[in-house]
Amino acid sequence: MNARDEILARVRERHPDAAPPSAENIEYTTYPDPAQQFTKLLESVGGRCVQAADAAAASADLEQQPAYASAARRVSTVNGVGTSTLDLSEVDDPHDLADVDFAVLPGELAVAENGAVWVSTASVAERTLYFLAQHLALVVPASQVVNNLPEAYERINPSRHPFGTFISGPSKTADIEQALVIGAHGARSLTVYLLG
């Protein structure tokens, strides 16, 4: 037996049996106002959050955004929020969505703890829209803002759909010469509308 194996054998002899952690005793972070905390976190990572009374109010705000107003190719899959210049039923190849300037898509829930929004193919069949659009707006019911990820996972079932992910803030990277680049591999801006 070499020295390495001897040391590992001694460690294994003296290592106590590990007990799985109990989720019952964990106190997860909660917030007095989850929507306010979500807004704060989203803005800290470069996103924008708008609390809108209804779809009409969200649409009115959207019309004021220069990126939306100047977008030649727009997609909206949320009734009453924004308009589409592209008919998704005519798109056979996801690559045809590579030049979408602005997408307005539904989000299922928002997490106050990290400023993220859960999206899945339950709401939008063409998942590439979440990542190919130059600018992105997600519309989430205000009643679906949760405190933390454990609460989020109680409401979602990731195995229910072939695709689901959390999105937070616009895409960014700082790995090239330590310079922050917004929109490096995804949307250059993200606005989240909390409706209701």
| Residue, of 74 and 87, whose pLDDT is higher | 74
For residue 158, the SS3 value is helix
Q: What is the pLDDT of residue 111?
A: 97
- Give the total residue count for the chain: 196
The predicted model gives 69-81 an average pLDDT of 94
Task: Give the pLDDT score at 118.
Answer: 94
Between residues 128 and 191, the one the model is more confident about: 191
Decide: 36 and 177 in contact? Cβ < 8 Å: no
Q: Does residue 92 have a pLDDT over 80?
A: yes
Q: Is 80 exceeded by the pLDDT of residue 88?
A: yes
Q: Predicted confidence band at 23 (pLDDT cuts at 50, 70, 90)?
A: low
What local confidence, expressed as pLDDT, does residue 1 receive?
76
CB-side exposure of 130: number of CA atoms within 13 Å? 22
29 and 35 in contact (C-beta within 8 Å)? Answer: no
Report in angstroms the alpha-carbon separations of 153 from 108, 150, 156, 158, 187.
Answer: 12, 5, 5, 8, 25
Q: What pLDDT was estimated at residue 157?
A: 79
Strands of the sheet with 74-76, listed across from one edge: 48-52, 189-195, 135-141, 102-106, 74-76
* pTM assigned to the model: 0.83
pLDDT at 22 over 80: no
pLDDT of residue 183: 67
Q: What is the pLDDT of residue 182?
A: 72
